[in-house]
Structure formats: C-alpha cells, structure tokens
A and B are shown apart, each in its own frame.
Chain A
Amino acid sequence: MPFSLKERRKFALFAGLIFFHLILISLQVPKGNEPTYFKKAFFAVFSPVQHGVVSFFQGVNRLWNNYFYFRQVQRQNQGMRDEIFLLRQENQTLKNTLLKFKGEKEIQELLSTISRSILVCSVIGYDSSDIHKSIVLNRGSRDGVKRDMVVLDRRGRLVGRVIDPVTLKQARVQLVTDKESGVGVLSERQRVVGILTGYAEGKCLMKYVYRTNKEIGEGEEVSTSGFEGIYPSGIPVGKIITITEDATLFKKIVVEPYLDFSELDEVAVFTIDLRELS
C-alpha cells in the first residue's frame, strides 16, 4: 500500500528526529562524561521545577507538623535532648583526645572552620536511569557549591562528590555506587588499599586487591584513603560482604555501602577542602 505525501512527510520528520538523536549521542563519544551544553541547558531549565515541588511539599509537611502534631513535639524534644546529650559527650571526648595532639586554641579554630563549612542540602531528585548513579541537591553555585566538593550523609558517612552541572540553585552529586565513580579506600583492620567503584543494585566493588592478599576479610569496614586526591582520609564508606576469587589477578570484593536511600533526604556538603584540615 503506497503512502500518501502527507504520510511520507511524517516519516521524513520522524527520520529527522531519529537522525538528530544519533548525532547527539555520537557527538558525546569523544567528550566522555563531560555534559554537553544541551544537557546543561535542559538541567538548568527543569531542575527549578524539582526545586519548587520539593519546597512546596516541605512547606506542607512543615505546616502539618506545626499545627497538627503538637502532641508529638514533647516526645521529639525529649529524644533530641537525649541525642544532644550523647553528642556533647562524644564531642568532649573527641576534643580531649585532640588536645593530646594540638593546642586548645588550634582545636577551637579547627572546629569553628568545620562547622562554618558544612552546608546542609535537601535531595530534590534522583538519577532517572538508575537511582544509584546520582542525586540532585537544592543548593548551587550561589551557595558556594563547586565541583569535587565532598558530600556526606547525616551520620558523616560518604555519599559522593559534586560533579557538573552545577547551576545557581542546584547541583548534581555522583554517588559512590555509580559505576563511573572511583574512591580510594582502605580496610580498617588490615589497611589493605583498593579502589571502590559502583557494582550493581547499589553495591560496590573494591578493586585491585591481589589474590595473594590473605589479610582482608569479610565484615571488615572500609573507609576513604585520600589517595585519589578528592576525598579526605578516614570517612566511613561501607562494609565488605563477600570476597571471591576467579581466574583474574585480583580478588572480587563486594562492599555494601552505608549510603541509605531512606535516610538520604538531607546531606552535608563540605565547602572547604577537608584534606587541608587533617
């Protein structure tokens, strides 16, 4: 059945759209992970919508909590007091430990620098192809957020680092569970060094540990080593869950990251280079 002129035009337009996408994809190949201007523009135009939606629902939630849940306030207040009490104890113990190595004035300056450099951000979006790749934050260059800044969760465990695009009010964070990410890590007990990358279903792989290494074991905690020059050392990342060996030179070490999506509504971005403090 021959197609009419109108239908032929439609097919031509459709073919044009497909060709446009193919060109768009092939143009990115030499650029690697660098986002194109087109992608940055789309992100800049539509991420404020995400920002608006989250702000709206946070406002509604706040209203609900303020006016309808007064009965819970007392209990919450007591819970928070208990938590503050414990945190103060912990803080004092850490200060006392630090005093053995540094002077009191130096410690006060250090702590005040750290508290000034923490930027609390809300998570306003997840990666559309796989939630374990990246998240979008409600703070951007206007708030001092820059590429490669370290992002931690509310318990101080590693979430990832800020990557492009960073717009005025939004920023994207590459999670440690992304396959393209690379974090220098070491095991806490045996100090075995490796590179952590994303694996599958939110798990990570600790790479480049030789098969001959018999020291590393399951259940061991891994933290950042600081060797890759982005993350400071000592940030907890996760726990080793399985270690297997195959024909290759290296062990296959699967790590369960501490990164928990149910607790990922708020994160902390460090606006200073934490490596300079250690």
Chain B
Amino acid sequence: MKGFFEAGLGIILAVALYTLLGKISASLLFLFNPFSCVVLYFSLMKHDIFGAAMGTVCGLLQDSLSLGLFGVAGLTKTLLGFSTGFISRKINVAPVTRNFVFLLIVSTIELALWKLLALFLFRERFALGGGLVLFQPLTTAFIVALLFQIVRKKRGESS
C-alpha cells in the first residue's frame, strides 16, 4: 500500500515539476524529463513489474500532455521501466559510478527509441531544442542517480 502511495506521489510530483519547468523556461523541458526520472527511480527501487506499470502510467500521462499519438511514450517508458528493473535485479547497479552509467545508457536508449518511433509514425524531423534534448539522458541519469544514492544512504542509516 505504501508503495502505491509513493508511486502516486511520484506521478503528481512529476506533473508538478513538468509544469514548473515550463513556467520557468519552456526550453528546460528539452533538457529534463521528470516522467523518465520517476520511472527510472521506481524501477531501481521496486524492479521490473512495478517499473513497467509506472512506465505505462507515466508514459500515457506524458502522451496526454502532447498532441502526438497516444501510446508512443507509454510504450517506450514501459520498456524502460521493465528493462531497468529487470537488469538491476540481475546486475548490481548500486555503486555510484555504475549506477550513473547504467542510467545514462537506459535513458539514452529510451530517448532514441521514442524519437525513432515518432519519426516512423509521424514522419517528422526531431525537435532538438537547439541541441538541448541531447543532454536530456545526462541530466535524467544524474538526477536519478543522485536521488537513488541519497535514499540508499538514508535507508542504510535508519536500519
């Protein structure tokens, strides 16, 4: 029950952060994807199925805030959530550097897959936001890795 509450809170925080970033500067939305951060965080913490479910909800939510086809971000984020959770169960990705590199790889693949699907379905050029979108996996990986390490440390101290 606590897990579902945390997930709901995470989703609402992602929407709030997404709105806030847009209000500060619309270009920040190219640089940072709060929905991917939520999916990656819960995939690392609660693994594959929970990650896939979070990917579905966050992806569909992201799709509902867009004019594009409903389900494209849902599909890629479901893949992201499941694969991150599955791999993190098989390989130890807890150490700081390994954690960051792993998150960087999966978020890069997710972004590439999302853009490729959009290209395939809409036949349109990538919106690069002046190159800012290329930094999106880096910022996403950095923020999730930082959050993951902080939570791990806190849990380690309390236990």
Contact = CB atoms under 8 A, between A and B. Distances in A.
A86 interface: no
Interface in B40-78: 48-49, 52-53, 56, 59-75, 78
Interface in A20-34: 20-22, 24-25, 28, 33
Contacts, number: 136
Residue of A46, A123, A178, A264 with most chain B CB atoms under a 10 A cut-off: A46
Chain B interface mostly helix, strand, loop or mixed? helix
Nearest to B17: A53
A135 to B, nearest CB: 9
Given A132-B127, A200-B127, A28 B67 contact: no
B17 to A, nearest CB: 9
Interface string A196-226: 0000110000000000000000000000000
Interface string A33-61: 10110110011001001100110010000
A73 interface: no
Contacts of B59: 21
B65 A43 contact: yes
B15 A129 contact: no
Contacts of B149: none
Interface string A5-23: 0000010011001101110
A178 B67 contact: yes
Contact of B79 (A18, A131, A262): A18
B30 interface: yes
Contact of B48 (A14, A57, A130, A179): A14
B30 to A, nearest CB: 7
Interface of A: 10, 13-14, 17-18, 20-22, 24-25, 28, 33, 35-36, 38-39, 42-43, 46, 49-50, 53-54, 57, 123-134, 136, 163, 172, 174, 178-180, 200-201, 261-262, 264-265
Interface of B: 12, 15-16, 18-20, 22-23, 25-27, 29-30, 35, 48-49, 52-53, 56, 59-75, 78-79, 82, 118, 121-122, 124-125, 127-130
The 8 closest A-B pairs by CB, nearest first: A42-B64, A130-B127, A24-B71, A21-B75, A129-B66, A25-B71, A128-B65, A261-B26
